[in-house]
Structure 1
Amino acid sequence: MCYRTREYLFVAEILAPWLADDDGFVKASAIAGSFDRMAYFIFALYATAVILGFYGFAVWCNFKVLRCLRKKTNLGPVVTVIRPAYADIQNQFTRTLICQAVVPLFTFAIPTFFIIFSVLSPISIDPGFSTAFGLMFTYIPTGNALSKKTLSEVQDLYRNQLEELTEEISNFDLILTDSASENERLSKNLVEVNRQLALFEKEKRTSEFKIKEKFEREISILNEKLKNEMKEEEKYQKLLAEFELEKAEIENLKTEKDQLFQKQKEIISDKESELKNLQKEVFQISQEKTETEVTVKKLLLENETLRKNICLSIDRERNLRRSLIKGFPSLRIFVYGLFFWTIIKVFISHTVTQHIGLISVTYFKNSTIYPPNSMVLLFNSQRSWWPQKSLVCESFSLNDSRKDLARVRHAHLPNFVCSWTPYIAVCRVTEDITKFSLSDTNSRSTAVEIPFRKAYSEKHDVISCFSPLFYNERWQLMIPSLEIYRQFGVGLQVYYIQSVRTEIYEFLSRYKKAGVVELEPWTLMDLGWENNKMNDPNKELEWRNQAGAHTDCLLKYREAAEFIIVSDIDDVLIPKLGKTYIDEFRFLNQRSPLAAGFIYNRYNTQFYSARSPMDFSLTELLENAQIATEWEDGKSVVKTSEVQTVWLHWPAIIREGRRMDLVSEKLNFMIHMRNWTMLDRPSDFVYRQKRMILNERQIFDFISQKKIMEIEEEAKKFILTYARKQFERLPTNTVYYPLIEDCYNKIFYSKAKNPDSCPGPLQCELPIFIPSVKCTVAKKRMKHRFISKHLQIHFGAGSSNFVFLPHGCRMKFTVG
């Protein structure tokens, strides 16, 4: 409430009947009086401004609408005729503008009616509501006026554009009128042209008739000429065909003549070569005959001289014997004493203990060379094998037992500078044997139970058996051998390992996991502590007992393969007579069906290789190989059904009636990876190649460059799949190889391969402690038992395995 003065409160009482609420009280928002003239003036001014201003603005806009409506009659009929849509839009604008002009009348009447109604009516209306309602209707005319102003401006803009369009349409009508005149003129010209064209067609028909007659006459003349030319052409074609036939006959005759000449040339060349060979042979025979005649004459003379000398010597001996008998009556006693001394020495030698160092005992239920249910024993012993009694095999099965005398033989021809050698014994046993023991025929003999194995049975066409590895660290040699044998068809490569660098052993183990190789521990022989006073028998076995290892491999894997390659890992055979080894071996077998196997000659070869596995390239290693003329003893491939025992170079015991076949060098030979040059950088081989007398056949005569690249790609793929980490860890240094090479040159090669002591690595002085050189060595726990008083047997207790040494390799690692 707002009160200006108490003197005018009576006004509230006067206004109460009209303005009071339901409770009879007047809630005034303001009370005005004569004292507040400025307020009346302001209120009157505001009312005048609102009424006159807003509604004046609305009236002004109505005048603009009226002006727009007047302009409508000046548009003309063009728009309504050509574009009816434009006329419809104009009518819609007109109706909208009329509605906009009428709206202010309602907006003015409504608030006026509301004021009169609120004053005269007894209804109580809230002053706030009436005030807001009045103001709202007061400002509506302003919005209405603005809307009309906007619509009128749009109407003007639209009308201006419509007038421009009307002007353009008028111009277009003028153009159409001109076009109609021009079209009429052109029609007249077209009629004239058609008339002239009709005349031209008439003249054309006349000319065509004349030309056609002339052309037909000329065509008939040409046809006559053509017929004559065709006759001539037929004659020419006949002549040409005859000429071609004669030419073909001449060419055939020429070809036959060339072929005959070539054949004659080849025959003459062959005859000349045969004649030269015959002349050489005749010359050689004549020389040999001359030399033989001279030799025979010399021998006859020497024989005659020798005969005379012998006669003289006999006469002298007789005279001397007579004089000795007469002068020395005790000579007979001396001779008899020497005889008895020899007998006593032989008897004493029989009392020396004979040792059997078992390598393996293999059971064959069915075999291609042994009788059914055979047991084959491979062992080392003194070269003089003469036990007092024969060996006896005792076998037991679930329902049967059997005793059989063993047939003991040398596994190969002994080397007489070595006092120990391998033996093989074969005996019959029970079927499905469960227990095996060995004794002799001595009454006090004790049967010793011996573990045995069954022959390997998984089938492969070809298997390779390699010599035992010792102190091995040359992986650069191993990888080409591994991959060439693997990719050309060797199903299983058997490595006998005595000692090897651990990184190489781990690399080989990945190949074993892939089923490519088999790793066999190869331990030295141990006779036990009670025989320590004896000379070490391992020093008396030729070349670390290679023959024993090869024969053991043959015995274990013979029933699984048709052919077995017996060699060192540095002997590489590349098949030339077939795509794979089995193809070549079967081809040779067809040529020599009675062969027990095949011997390949070997030629030393120079190789260049990087030290690091990261720089190693199989392609560069093979492509830069140099095959020399230096020949080495051959290596063998044996038919397992014909051979019992093998040695490094050829088999020892073969089936009766069979023989080994030497493969001609013209057909194939082995590459001996004997000489190596290790390079820090692969490109150094250009500057480091050695001068040597080269063989007439080099590496590309055995294998193409494309095949070499395929071998390397396959090797990379295999190594990345199975042995990537192990390959990267392969050693880059060599510790033992130079020492062993110097030792072998000293004890063997410098003596023209005729050593005066048993050759082998135990003759070499090699360090047993080298820091940080990791080595893997074969280990076996041994048992030692006496069969009889002078016969002791030594065999493994359980399977052999490998042991890791952190600081260097060693040869002997057995546990007694």
Structure 2
Amino acid sequence: MIPRLPRNIYKTLDLLLLQSFTRFNQISYSKKPQEVRILQYTHTFIHSAYYYPTSKSLGDNAVALVTTMNKRTVWNILDHKINLIGTNQSTKITRQASLSTEHRSFERCDYLLITAQSNMIDNMEKLEIEAKGVLVEIPIKRPIYFAPKPVVFCVSPQFAAEQWQTFLVQLHVSKRYGAHLHLYIVSMVESYFKLIKEYEKLGLVSIEPWLTIKFPITDGPYLEPNRNVELRNQAAAHTDCLLMYKESASFVGILDMDDILIPTANSYYEEFEREYAGDWLISALHYDKYDYKTIKVADLKSQSLSSIVKNAERLPTKDTGKSFLRPERFNST
């Protein structure tokens, strides 16, 4: 997904997509704003909450929440009020969070990715959210301050995944050009998961368990969230990854498993630095994506990266491209 804000310069390059033969229809959205009906009570799902003792872009003692919210909560979802309470050993403070999104509500599904951000208290030990006088504690995570590599690729959540051939191509190409893979997993076949775990032991891959949205009640007037969120809520996982590596990675890429980027330089880092050319007005590089088909093998011993590339055939179709960000310039995707 292409980040929409801030309104800075985007450079466009090329990206390779290796695919199987399953195709999906592209969804078209109307450009005319549609009226959003307001409901009295709606759902919010909190995916993760990060606490930054120090941050280059968010400030000291910053808190960032990754949430999925129903846009019908209020007329303008960004006007919704969320109170956060931070506690350390001696003090408790309350702050109102500012909400932001990279999505336009009239073009999207009912549930949107919303980030909530505020600056809290030194040495915060507990974070709570308040609604109508009820406090709920939120588990907090710390960002990674030392990334395995300067370039991190955030790979979309894997659902019932079984295409281990694509994973091996992505892994070895990314390793060759200097990127670390951070994978979000909902479900996959056991043998595939065991294979990924072996590469995790080598430090080439990080695995992040990822939960689908679940509410105790999804009857009317509510909507079943997983059927009313765009692309199975990939943006939430991408945003979680961006916030995780915000303070440590030089560049963060937003990819699907079958998005294969082969740079023209010796490494991803070298190419991205060249294309940014030290211009801080450029917040992201956007790569166009072209479809290819190739031959896959049935067993691990027969897997050959060179044969996959040699047998790749470009298709006449072109898919939505991908972006590679400076993490300090974005808080969500």
Quickly name the TM-score band, shorter chain normalised.
Answer: 0.7 to 0.9
What does 1:108-119 align with in structure 2 at a 5 Å threshold? none
1:449 maps to which of 132, 137, 141: 137
Residue of structure 2 equivalent to 1:524: 212
Alpha carbons of 1:500 and 1:488: their partners in 2 closer, same or farther (altered >3 Å)? Answer: same
Shift of 1:482: 0.7
1:493 maps to which of 176, 181, 192: 181
User: What is the rounded CA distance, in whole Å, between the counterparts of 1:558 and 1:479 in structure 2?
Assistant: 26
Shift of 1:582: 0.6
1:484 maps to which of 173, 176, 180: 173
1:427 aligns with 2:118: yes
Shift of 1:458: 2.0
User: What is the rounded CA distance, in whole Å, between the counterparts of 1:454 and 1:434 in structure 2?
Assistant: 11
1:580 maps to which of 258, 267, 270: 267
Q: How many residues align?
A: 294
1:373 aligns with 2:61: yes
User: What secondary structure is seen at the aligned counterpart in 1 of 2:128?
Assistant: strand
User: What is the rounded CA distance, in whole Å, between the counterparts of 2:314 and 2:106 in structure 1?
Assistant: 31
User: What is the rounded CA distance, in whole Å, between the counterparts of 1:420 and 1:402 in structure 2?
Assistant: 30
1:618 maps to which of 285, 299, 305: 305
Alpha carbons of 1:587 and 1:406: their partners in 2 closer, same or farther (altered >3 Å)? Answer: same
What does 1:170-209 align with in structure 2 at a 5 Å threshold? none
1:544 aligns with 2:232: yes
Identity score, percent: 25
Asked which structure has the greater RCO (Cα within 8 Å, sep 6+), the reply is 2
User: What is the rounded CA distance, in whole Å, between the counterparts of 2:139 and 2:109 in structure 1?
Assistant: 29
Contact 1:380/1:421, CA 8 A, preserved across alignment: yes
Contact 1:412/1:645, CA 8 A, preserved across alignment: no
Residue of structure 1 equivalent to 2:99: 408
What does 1:116-195 align with in structure 2 at a 5 Å threshold? none
Aligned partner letter, 1:385: T
Residue of structure 2 equivalent to 1:393: 84
Post-superposition Cα deviations, 1:610-647, rounded to whole Å, max 9, x if no partner, equal: 2222322222111221233432221111001211111x
User: What is the rounded CA distance, in whole Å, between the counterparts of 2:215 and 2:175 in structure 1?
Assistant: 38
User: What secondary structure is seen at the aligned counterpart in 1 of 2:157?
Assistant: coil
Residue of structure 2 equivalent to 1:512: 200
Shift of 1:416: 3.7
User: What is the rounded CA distance, in whole Å, between the counterparts of 1:410 and 1:579 in structure 2?
Assistant: 35
1:589 aligns with 2:271: no
What does 1:242-253 align with in structure 2 at a 5 Å threshold? none
Aligned partner letter, 1:463: V
User: What is the rounded CA distance, in whole Å, between the counterparts of 1:412 and 1:431 in structure 2?
Assistant: 32
User: What is the rounded CA distance, in whole Å, between the counterparts of 2:90 and 2:213 in structure 1?
Assistant: 36
Which has the greater radius of gyration?
Answer: 1
User: What is the rounded CA distance, in whole Å, between the counterparts of 1:519 and 1:487 in structure 2?
Assistant: 20
1:631 aligns with 2:318: yes
What does 1:322-341 align with in structure 2 at a 5 Å threshold? none
Aligned partner letter, 2:237: A
User: What is the rounded CA distance, in whole Å, between the counterparts of 1:583 and 1:502 in structure 2?
Assistant: 37
Contact 1:411/1:424, CA 8 A, preserved across alignment: no
Aligned residues: CA RMSD? 2.2
Residue of structure 2 equivalent to 1:564: 252
Contact 1:369/1:644, CA 8 A, preserved across alignment: no
User: What secondary structure is seen at the aligned counterpart in 2 of 1:558?
Assistant: coil
User: What is the rounded CA distance, in whole Å, between the counterparts of 1:543 and 1:436 in structure 2?
Assistant: 30
Residue of structure 2 equivalent to 1:554: 242
2:50 maps to which of 334, 354, 362: 362
User: What is the rounded CA distance, in whole Å, between the counterparts of 2:84 and 2:231 in structure 1?
Assistant: 30
Alpha carbons of 1:389 and 1:587: their partners in 2 closer, same or farther (altered >3 Å)? Answer: closer
User: What is the rounded CA distance, in whole Å, between the counterparts of 1:593 and 1:526 in structure 2?
Assistant: 40
2:292 maps to which of 605, 613, 636: 605
Contact 2:128/2:135, CA 8 A, preserved across alignment: yes
Contact 2:129/2:138, CA 8 A, preserved across alignment: yes
User: What secondary structure is seen at the aligned counterpart in 2 of 1:360?
Assistant: strand
User: What secondary structure is seen at the aligned counterpart in 2 of 1:504?
Assistant: helix
Aligned partner letter, 1:594: L
Residue of structure 2 equivalent to 1:303: none
Contact 1:377/1:426, CA 8 A, preserved across alignment: yes
Contact 1:392/1:439, CA 8 A, preserved across alignment: yes
Contact 1:415/1:542, CA 8 A, preserved across alignment: no
User: What is the rounded CA distance, in whole Å, between the counterparts of 2:289 and 2:278 in structure 1?
Assistant: 21
Shift of 1:384: 2.0
More helix by share: 1
Aligned partner letter, 2:269: I
User: What is the rounded CA distance, in whole Å, between the counterparts of 1:377 and 1:582 in structure 2?
Assistant: 29
Contact 1:412/1:547, CA 8 A, preserved across alignment: no
User: What is the rounded CA distance, in whole Å, between the counterparts of 1:409 and 1:363 in structure 2?
Assistant: 17
Structure 2, gaps ≥5 residues long: 1-35
Q: List structure 1 segments (4+ residues) > 6 angstroms apart after TM superposition.
A: none
Alpha carbons of 1:417 and 1:590: their partners in 2 closer, same or farther (altered >3 Å)? Answer: closer
Contact 2:42/2:72, CA 8 A, preserved across alignment: no
User: What is the rounded CA distance, in whole Å, between the counterparts of 2:300 and 2:201 in structure 1?
Assistant: 21
Shift of 1:564: 0.5
Contact 1:494/1:518, CA 8 A, preserved across alignment: yes
Contact 1:465/1:550, CA 8 A, preserved across alignment: yes
Contact 1:589/1:595, CA 8 A, preserved across alignment: yes
Contact 2:155/2:255, CA 8 A, preserved across alignment: yes
Aligned partner letter, 2:177: F
Structure 1, gaps ≥5 residues long: 1-344, 647-816
Post-superposition Cα deviations, 1:287-336, rounded to whole Å, max 9, x if no partner, equal: xxxxxxxxxxxxxxxxxxxxxxxxxxxxxxxxxxxxxxxxxxxxxxxxxx
Shift of 1:356: 1.4
User: What is the rounded CA distance, in whole Å, between the counterparts of 1:602 and 1:421 in structure 2?
Assistant: 25
User: What secondary structure is seen at the aligned counterpart in 2 of 1:586?
Assistant: helix
User: What is the rounded CA distance, in whole Å, between the counterparts of 2:296 and 2:259 in structure 1?
Assistant: 17
Aligned partner letter, 1:359: H
Aligned partner letter, 2:249: A
1:438 maps to which of 106, 129, 134: 129
